[in-house]
Structure formats: structure tokens, C-alpha cells
Amino acid sequence: MSIHAHPDDQEFTVAGTLAKWARGGSDIVTVCITSGEAGSNQFTPPEMTRQALAPIREEEQRNACRVLGIAEVVFLRYEDGVLEPSIALRRDLTRLVRRHRPDAVVCGDPTVRFYGSTYLNHPDHRAAADVALDAVFPSAGTRFIFPELLDEGLDPHHVGTVYIHGGTRPNTFIDIGKTLAVKLAALKEHRSQMGEWDPTAMLTQWAREQGKRRGLDAAEAFRRMVLGGP
Ligand SMILES: [Zn+2]
């Protein structure tokens, strides 16, 4: 289960790994907490509205997932740009974890405030990652957290492994040499956000940097944690 705040977050960060897993036979569920209706300053035309943009971005996310081999996409339709690490969101993500019962959850690193000297991590990214991890532990596996979920027939589920991307201390480097092209193709499906910009050079550079420590041409780096049993 891949959990992110916005359409395109997954494609920028972990799509090479997801495409590789999908090719290996894994069933992947993409969870998009907002529909990305805040758009981008650069490419969202002035006449566009939030209401009109949301379904466009959802469609782009579905298309991107299709390219990656991901059949299932869930939108929670929280408001883009003002996401909070709320208990309501934690309950919603816990419900999805218990329903889909993933072996692994992929999400961002909620502790990263700054990337280099040019990017302040988006508050929605921090909130999404924070709540995703809180849903994995302890909420998904603890019977009496959100007991109302039991009434929905959703028993506790232990997620064995989390893959946290974007952190400063990765311990796992997944070779995406064979799926970088698919990652790029998926990212390009987010047409409303890309304009004429070609992400190939930037993403290829990122993949090279992340692979360097393991002698790989292209990788995605994670902090991988194997969670203890119940
Ligand atoms: Zn984002």
C-alpha cells in the first residue's frame, strides 16, 4: 500500500519500486489523501477552479497507476493544501490498512522539514507521512483502537514492513534500472502539473544519486523497517 498526500507524489518518489513490485506479481493499492486540487502555481491556468481540477488530477493519477501496473487507487478527498495529522485521517487510513491487509506500506518521512537549501517540505507531505505511520502502528494492529472498525468487520492487521522514502538516513536501495522509464512515463501522465517540462533529466539524476552508494545506475532509497510481531 502506497500512501501519499497528492496525485504525483508517488510518481516523483517511489514509482520505480512500485512498478518493479507490480511486475513481480504484487498487488498494489495507491492511496491518495487529497485530490491535488490546489494545483501548481506554474501550470494551473487562472480560469481553473479547485472543483474542476480535482477530477482531472484523479484521472491523471489513475492513468499513472495504470502505467505502473497498479489496479487500485483510493482517493480520500481531504482538502489539498491544509492537510492536518488528524484522528479522523488516522481512522480512515487504519480502515484502509485493515481492509486491504498489505504486507508493506510505503510512505514519506514525516520528520524531514527541509530538503537541501531549495525546498521546504510541503506540510501535506509531512502530515500524510505522519498519519500513515500512526495508522500502521499502533492503530491497524490494535483491536481496541478505533473499535468502531470492528463493527465494520475490520479485524486488526499487522503490517510487517514499512518503506519510508525521502529520509536522510536510508538503509535500503532498490534497483530501478529496469523501471525508471516506466516511472518517467507514469509521472508524465500528470499533465496538468507538468506543462511542457520534461522530468527526465531531474529524475534520472535523482535515481543516479540514490544508487551511488550501492554502485547502481538508478535506485530509490528507503528507510526500511521490519516491525515486530504482535
Ligand atoms: Zn505533493
Cα of 152 vs centre of ligand 1, distance in Å, is 31
Could you tell me the pTM of the whole model?
Answer: 0.97
Name the H helices within the chain: 9-13, 15-23, 50-68, 87-100, 123-134, 148-151, 180-188, 191-194, 200-211
Q: Let me know: does 133 contact 16? Beta carbons within 8 Å.
A: no
Task: Please measure the distance between the N-terminal and C-terminal CA atoms of the chain and give it in whole angstroms.
Answer: 20
Beta-bridge partner residues of 74: 31
Around 20, how many Cα atoms within 13 Å sit in the side-chain half-sphere? 14
How far apart CA 113 and CA 223 sit, in angstroms, is 16
pLDDT by residue, tens only, the chain of 230 residues: 999 999 999 999 999 999 999 999 999 999 999 999 998 877 888 899 999 999 999 999 999 999 999 999 999 999 999 999 999 999 999 999 999 999 999 999 999 999 999 999 999 999 999 999 999 999 999 999 999 999 999 999 999 999 999 998 999 999 999 999 999 999 999 999 988 899 999 999 999 999 999 999 999 999 999 998 65
Q: Let me know: does 149 contact 95? Beta carbons within 8 Å.
A: yes
Residue 167's pLDDT is what?
A: 94
Beta-bridge partner residues of 225: 162
Cα of 160 vs centre of ligand 1, distance in Å, is 26
Residue 195's pLDDT is what?
A: 83
Cα of 159 vs centre of ligand 1, distance in Å, is 24
Which residues does 214 contact at the CB level (< 8 Å), separation at least 6? 173, 175
Cα of 138 vs centre of ligand 1, distance in Å, is 25
How far apart CA 40 and CA 193 sit, in angstroms, is 6
How far apart CA 137 and CA 150 sit, in angstroms, is 17
How far apart CA 123 and CA 105 sit, in angstroms, is 20
DSSP string across 21-47: HHHTT---EEEEEE--TT--TTTS-TT
Q: Let me know: does 36 contact 128? Beta carbons within 8 Å.
A: no
Burial of 211 (0-12, 13-18, 19+ CB in 10 A): buried
Cα of 125 vs centre of ligand 1, distance in Å, is 6
Residue 229's pLDDT is what?
A: 61
Residue 41's pLDDT is what?
A: 74
Cα of 5 vs centre of ligand 1, distance in Å, is 6
Residue position matching grid coordinates 492536518:
84
